[in-house]
Amino acid sequence: MSGRQQQYLRAMGIPVWVERAAAPMPVDAVEVSEVGNEDWDSLRREVSACQRCGLHAGRTQTVFGVGSERAQLLVVGEAPGAEEDRRGEPFVGRAGQLLTAMLKAIDLPRGEVYIANVLKCRPPNNRDPDPIEAETCTPYLQRQIDLLQPKLILAVGRIAGQWLTGTSLPLGKLRLGSYTYGKGNVPLLVTYHPAYLLRSPGQKRLAWEDLKRVRALLDAQS
């Protein structure tokens, strides 16, 4: 285990003697998407102008997504929070820092993955997304998936996990399953939301097991 990886594991609060199950993915294993930037830009403009549900009235800006448009891994959360709404980027602040450390612990720099949410607008007072809001916004996520063509989707948190799997299972059971999503049957795994891990650091060891599954599945497809 490299010194850098040990540093990231410490940032997650995981003892450095925990071993990763799979080898790092070679940089040249990332496949290049054939979708042009024009398509991403068109979708981004459409999302930024969206008024399909009432959430548009209270937003500062939409939170489209961030990361490599050639990424093998797509990380999906539930919705933007206050800071995300202000900055227009998903997973910022302490939760975003932990997510970055989690990804780097399995040799995936944040810039080499794509990060998005089910909802592109912040629900008021950070409440849970309404099912109608999620249903209205999900086609945008599906179009992002169509453009990205990821090898794997990682849903973080109970709400994103339940929505993308179409189940009402508790997170403890969701994270143990293997699913597929969308018309492309993209493999889907579920883990804890970084914000939850900040409140419940004792669950970081389980999150690390989930991350090892992510790494192993990506390596198996490279």
* Statement: the pTM of the whole predicted model exceeds 0.95: no
Per-residue pLDDT of the chain (222 residues; tens, 9 = 90+): 555 555 555 655 655 444 333 333 333 333 334 444 569 999 999 999 999 999 999 999 999 999 999 999 999 999 999 999 999 999 999 999 999 999 999 999 999 999 999 999 999 998 999 999 999 999 999 999 999 999 999 999 999 999 999 999 999 999 999 999 998 999 999 999 999 999 999 999 999 999 999 999 999 987
Residue ranges covered by each domain of the chain? 3-15+35-221
Chosen CATH of 3-15+35-221 out of 3.40.470.10, 2.30.130.10, 3.40.50.720, 3.30.540.10: 3.40.470.10
Strand order in the sheet with 152-156: 66-67, 114-117, 73-77, 152-156, 186-191, 179-181
d(C-alpha 89, C-alpha 164), whole Å: 21
